[in-house]
């Protein structure tokens, strides 16, 4: 471990490189924090450093309610609402909105549809349905480029409810139907 002065300087700068490596306990408040905590920096004489949250707790300190040091950096609880968006994206990529609707997705995530829409707007500048449509179009484009499947099967395998929906999405995005986008496929990569 580095000396006290180096640790305190990193804490004073709120250096993210130290996050999860040291924990800062404040003797006057009985609270311990992560080095990136936005709370006011205490005087050096009132601070002690620990290698883990458990060590700070064993010494009698309680976790800060602002920076939540009891959660390790980069774990789901530490990332907060971003974790909900990541979980939603994983479910959407797995076809949750191809086979279901927003209400089913939000129930699986344990949030409301309005809250999920706000989170998607904050992190992705798009709605969950727009993300799902973009993924479907990307899947369809890969199938069009790499296979000679009929448009109806491309639509089905990409997650569209019908070939008409696939045509509408491609026309809106590319200004032409999927058949006009299809690349010629060599005989070795053709599938049926």
- Cβ atoms of 53 and 63 closer than 8 Å: yes
pLDDT in tens, 63-102: 998 888 877 555 555 567 888 899 999 999 998 998 788 9
Whether residue 67 lies in the annotated active site: yes
- The catalytic residue among 10, 24, 33, 92 is 33
- The catalytic residue among 10, 31, 36, 37 is 37
Mean pLDDT of 3-22: 88
**Full DSSP string of 33-94:** E-TT--SPPPPGGGEEEESSHHHHHHTT-EE-TTT-TTSPTTSHHHHTHHHHHHHHHHHHHT
**Closest residue by Cα to residue 25 from 13, 40, 5, 42:** 42
Per-residue pLDDT band at 17 (split at 50, 70, 90): confident
Question: In the structure encoding, which two tokens stand for residue 69, read together?
Answer: 């040091």
Whether residue 64 lies in the annotated active site: yes
Contacts of 115 (CB under 8 A, 6+ apart): 106
Q: What is the pLDDT of residue 77?
A: 56
Residue 50: beta bridge partners?
Answer: 23
**Residue 116 above 60 pLDDT?**
yes
Buried b (16+ CB within 10 A) or exposed e, 4-35: eeebbebbeeeeeebbbbbbbbbeeeebbbbb
Q: What is the distance between the terminal CA atoms of the chain, rounded to a whole angstrom?
A: 62
- The catalytic residue among 22, 26, 67, 154 is 67
Whether residue 75 lies in the annotated active site: no
Mean pLDDT of 32-51: 92
pLDDT in tens, 163-191: 999 999 999 988 899 988 886 655 554 55
Per-residue pLDDT band at 41 (split at 50, 70, 90): very high
Q: What is the pLDDT of residue 75?
A: 54
């Amino acid at each position: 471990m580095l000396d006290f002065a180096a640790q305190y300087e990193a804490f004073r700068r709120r250096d993210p490189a130290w996050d999860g490596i040291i924990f800062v306990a404040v003797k006057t408040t009985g609270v311990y924090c992560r080095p990136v905590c936005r709370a006011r920096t205490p005087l050096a004489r009132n601070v002690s450093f620990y290698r883990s949250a458990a060590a700070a707790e064993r010494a009698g300190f309680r976790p800060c309610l602002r920076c939540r040091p009891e959660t390790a950096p980069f774990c789901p609880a530490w990332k907060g609402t971003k974790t909900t968006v990541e979980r939603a994206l994983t479910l959407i990529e797995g076809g949750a909105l191809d086979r279901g609707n927003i209400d089913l997705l939000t129930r699986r995530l344990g949030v409301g549809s309005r809250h999920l829409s706000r989170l998607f707007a904050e992190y992705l500048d798009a709605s969950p349905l727009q993300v799902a449509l973009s993924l479907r179009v990307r899947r369809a484009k890969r199938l069009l480029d790499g296979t000679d499947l009929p448009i109806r099967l491309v639509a089905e395998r990409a997650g569209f409810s019908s070939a008409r929906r696939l045509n509408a999405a491609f026309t809106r995005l590319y200004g032409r139907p999927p058949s006009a986008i299809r690349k010629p496929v060599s005989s070795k990569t053709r599938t049926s």
